[in-house]
Amino acid sequence: MQIGMNARLFPGNWRPVRREIEFAQVHHFAAIQLPGPEQGLDAARLGDSLPFVAAALQQAKLTVVMEMVVRIDERGQTALGASPLEVLQANLPAITTLPCHFVHWHLVPIQTMPEEATRAVERQLIPQSMAALALAQEHSFHFAFEHNEPSLGLYGTPDACTDLLTAVPGLQFVWDFNHTTPEHLAQFLALIPRMSVLHISDTPLPAVNHHLPLGLGNIQFGAYCQALRHGNFRGPAILEIGGLPQSGGYGRDTDAALIDSQQRLSEIIRAL
């Protein structure tokens, strides 16, 4: 398991990515997650050109993850009319230049959808997922999708995730500890063979999606990591802390919080 961090490149909490790369290197993170915006990751979001960032990432020997948070409506499109596949295509220059080793969609409904509409969108996304996987194979990166907490509906249950994984052999899965309710834990653990990336933060279960630093909720990280070890998971484990009202907003993803959460997770893994 390669412990990584989410680069703090949010509009309200931005710094040049070179600073995040330096921080990751100094504090021995093995991976870094970058955003995949709707119109593509570029120098304006990163603070430096793609070739400059690629050289910095190579020098730091960081595994690069890209998360594309794509907010879609009942048509399966963004507010600007883009499809998830078009968002992936817009990010291909960054994916191939940096390069990104692990790429995934986090598909989030713009507003609450009726269950029938949710299932229809999930079916509609099957051919796009196949096309995305073909692009990943062509350009040599791992491609996956992330699940949501149950209240969001879209890919909010293990059954919905399993249906997509069954329909698209070769597609991988991003498991978020913080989105997982206790009743769904066993079913998500069954998907370990298809997991490429983990998102890790704490939450006061049974409530989910608080994105707290480790130790401020009650997730049993040792049990989760033990199951992942038994399942031979070896990919990046990205710390995604802070950024939501429940977690106190962006102030939770401070340098100190990231360092402390990394140390806690490292100690848990060493104790297994």
Q: Which of the listed CATH numbers 3.40.50.620, 2.60.40.730, 3.20.20.150, 3.40.47.10 matches domain 2-200+216-240?
A: 3.20.20.150
**Per-residue pLDDT, 272:** 86
Q: Which residues contact 258 (CB under 8 A, 6 or more apart)?
A: 5, 23, 27, 213, 239, 241
**Per-residue pLDDT, 29:** 97
Q: Which residues pair with 223 in a beta bridge?
A: none
Task: Give the DSSP H/E element, type plus range, for residue 163.
Answer: helix 158-167
Please tell me the number of Cα atoms within 13 Å of 190 on its side-chain side.
10
Q: What is the pLDDT along the chain (272 residues), one digit of tens a residue?
A: 899 999 999 877 788 999 999 999 999 999 999 999 999 999 999 999 999 999 999 999 999 999 999 999 999 999 999 999 999 999 999 999 999 999 999 999 998 899 999 999 999 999 999 999 999 999 999 999 999 999 999 999 999 999 999 999 999 999 999 999 999 999 999 999 999 999 999 999 999 988 999 999 999 999 999 999 999 999 999 999 975 555 555 557 788 889 999 999 999 999 98
Report helix, strand and coil shares of the chain as percent, to nearest 5: 45, 20, 35
**Per-residue pLDDT, 251:** 59
Task: Give the DSSP H/E element, type plus range, for residue 132.
Answer: helix 115-139
**Per-residue pLDDT, 14:** 84
Domain boundaries, the chain: 2-200+216-240
CB of 76 closer than 8 Å to CB of 154: no
* Amino acid symbol at 168: V
Task: Give the DSSP H/E element, type plus range, for residue 176.
Answer: strand 172-176
The tokens of 31 are what?
């991976």
**Per-residue pLDDT, 10:** 83
- Give the span between the Cα atoms of 236 and 152, in whole angstroms: 25
